[in-house]
Chains A and B, each alone.
Chain A
Amino acid sequence: EAQLLESGGGLVQPGGSLRLTCTASGFTFMRYAMSWVRQAPGKGLEWVSGISGTSALIEYSDSVKGRFTISRDNSKNQLYLQMNSLRAEDTAVYFCAKLISDDPDDYWGQGTLVTVSS
């Protein structure tokens, strides 16, 4: 059974940094693009960043471009999100997700809460 487990969330001051990790199991991690999706309290889902299986293709939403960096280590089945210059509006639950088009094998982690506050 496929599983995604996020870690690294917590409380950080504005301007601070945090690194999220997602550990995958139950599927061939290196074959698939992966994404980070966030959800601010009481708000909708927002795609944040994505990376292809080989890391050749990387994209960010405008709201985090220049501040966040996505990466992956296929030897460890892990996905990362380095978040710098954090702002209050980055406060959200961050989900690691294997989003896939035209396929039912779409997986999400349970999410990790990031709170940016002084």
Chain B
Amino acid sequence: QPALTQPPSVSGTPGQRVTISCSGSSSNIGTYSVNWYKQVPGTAPQLLIFASHQRPSGIPGRFFGSKSGTSAALAISGLQSEDEAVYYCATCDDALRGFWVFGGGTKLIVL
């Protein structure tokens, strides 16, 4: 079982706002900041959010990350068809001496 818990899937229509949750514990999200990744089938994951809420250069402002306590969330506004992908949260974990744990992934379906 992944150390971080995500819903298996979420869906929305173009233009809508969706939120993907990521639940952890005091040894991971409670201590460290969170990264969010987008993965399209057959490709490597792409960093969307780092430091829980920061966007790398080139990532549009429609993607918003947040963290509170031992949970984090990724919100996507103005949903577009190209947003359909699998999204993963990831963070470090004291149980692994600061190395990484991932969520199980959330499939975003754009209806």
Chain A complexes with chain B = yes
Chain A residue at minimum C-beta to C-beta distance from B34? A101
Minimal beta-carbon separation of B40 from chain A (angstroms): 13
CA separation between A59 and B39, bound complex, in Å? Answer: 25
B101 touches A47 (CB 8 A): yes
- Indicate with 1 or 0, residue by residue over A30-52, a CB within 8 angstroms of chain B CB atoms: 00010101000000111100100
Q: Which of A50, A101, A102, A103 has the most CB of B within 10 A?
A: A101
Given A44-B103, A108-B45, is A57 in contact with B54 using a C-beta cutoff of 8 Å? no
CA separation between A103 and B50, bound complex, in Å? Answer: 6
B50 touches A45 (CB 8 A): no
Q: Which residues of A contact B (CB under 8 A)?
A: 33, 35, 37, 44-47, 50, 57, 59, 61, 95, 99-104, 106, 108-111
A104 touches B33 (CB 8 A): no
B2 touches A99 (CB 8 A): no
- Indicate with 1 or 0, residue by residue over B69-111, a CB within 8 angstroms of chain A CB atoms: 0000000000000000010101110001111111111000000
A-B pairs with beta carbons under 8 Å apart, 29 shown: A35-B99, A37-B100, A44-B102, A44-B104, A44-B105, A45-B37, A45-B39, A45-B45, A45-B90, A46-B2, A47-B99, A47-B101, A47-B102, A57-B98, A59-B96, A100-B50, A101-B32, A101-B51, A101-B92, A102-B51, A103-B51, A104-B47, A104-B56, A104-B57, A106-B35, A106-B47, A106-B56, A108-B45, A109-B44
